Structures are given as C-alpha cells and as structure tokens.
Amino acid sequence: MDEEDLYRLNETLPAGQRLAGTKIGAFLSGRNSTEKRYEAKAVLESCRKLGISVITKEDIHYPGRFSSLPDMPCLLYVKGRLAINDYSVSAGIVGARRCTPEDKGKAILTAEQEVKKGNAIVSGMAKGIDSYAHTAALKSGGYTIAVLGNGPDICYPKEHQTLYEAIAQTGCVVSEYPPGVTPRSYMFPRRNRLIAALSDKLYIVGAGRNSGTNTTAAFCRKYERIRFKLTQKTF
C-alpha cells in the first residue's frame, strides 16, 4: 500500500482510531528501513528459538475480546497455548501483593469456583493475589493466562519461575513486548489494560486505595467489564 492509499484508508477510520500524520510518516520510513527489517528478523528468530508464538490481529487465536477496543496491540508474543477464544467467560483475579490470609483464601476460592464453572482465569503473575489465583486455577485443572509487563521469555518476579513454567505448559503467558525486554514501571499499567480487556469480569482482592491494581479497575470501567471488589461490596 503506497503513501496515498495509507492516508486515504486512515480517513475512513472512526475519529478515535485514526493515526496522526506523523505516525503514518514514521511507519512509512520504518517500512523502508533495512535496519528495521533486520531487527524484525532478529525478533522472529529469537521467538523461534524460545518457542514463542507471534499472534497478529489476523490470526484466529488473536483475542476476540480485543476486537472492539481501539488501544489493543497489533500483535502478541505468547509462550504456551492462547485459547481464550475457546472460553465463553473469562474471569480476571488481581489484587494486593502483600495480602492477608483472608484475602489469599478469597482469591483461591474465587479461582476454584470460576474454574468449576468452566471459565478461564486471567491475572498478572505478580506476588500475592495474582500468584494465588494462577496456582488455584492450575491445581483445579483450569486454564489460566498470565499477562506480563516484560518480554514473554522473562519470569518476573524471579521466584515465580516454577509457576511461570506451569502456566506456559497448560495455559499461556502473554506479552505485547518481544523477547528480552526487561520490566519497567510504565509497562505494568499497560499490562493491566490487557488483563482488563481479556476479562469479562474482574475480581479485585485486598487492594488498597493506592494499589496499582486500581488501574486495572479503571480500564475495566473503560471497557465496560463487570467489576467486583471482594473486600467490599460490588462496585
């Protein structure tokens, strides 16, 4: 598609989805860059060696839940089996990293109940509530997705290596970042939007007023997902 066609196509998109002219210009410049082509080939080769799938919007495995949302990534890096489209209902379970035994129990029970209903479990593999939700889903024989705020080949936090491998074996870990990208603070709010987008309903467990989990709740409101706060009434 040449430059004129790209600008014409852009004008046919809804106002909120149109790209700025500078972005189209940057795309055209990058498309013709030999250096960028080498970088792309290097990423693909790295994915091949690491057993990581590259799922684009045209792929049948690309999450259908992303289709109506304008700020979703154009591709995903996946380690494991991305089967979210096989589930009619998905439940996100997120919350405090430092949680009480009561909140831990709520996260585990909620994950077990959702798996029993045949629903997928989505979380972020962080310490605390996230890890308990993933673990409970796995022990219950369920399907779970861990959305990462770094490359899919990096386990963060490091002490979750066993959990990371278990999720990748029976479910999947997902990232919008290519292999080798280390975690940065700004990546986690972006990660949280994907958790919200993948979840038909979201359970928030033990999160305080200043918790980063609140960004996930904000994206749930934006995407019109159902939200539950287990330490308080439904909100």
Residue spans of the chain under pLDDT 70? 208-211, 230-235
User: Does 84-229 carry CATH code 3.40.50.300?
Assistant: no
Q: What is the pLDDT of residues 104-117, one digit of tens each?
A: 999 999 999 999 99
Q: Where are the domains of the chain?
A: 84-229
Answering whether pTM is above 0.95, one says: no
Sheet strand arrangement including 90-95:
53-56, 75-80, 172-175, 144-147, 120-123, 90-95, 201-205, 226-229
Nearest by Cα to 123 from 172, 76, 79, 89: 172
pLDDT digits (tens, 9 = 90+) for 14-38: 877 788 888 888 888 888 888 888 9
pLDDT of residue 231: 59
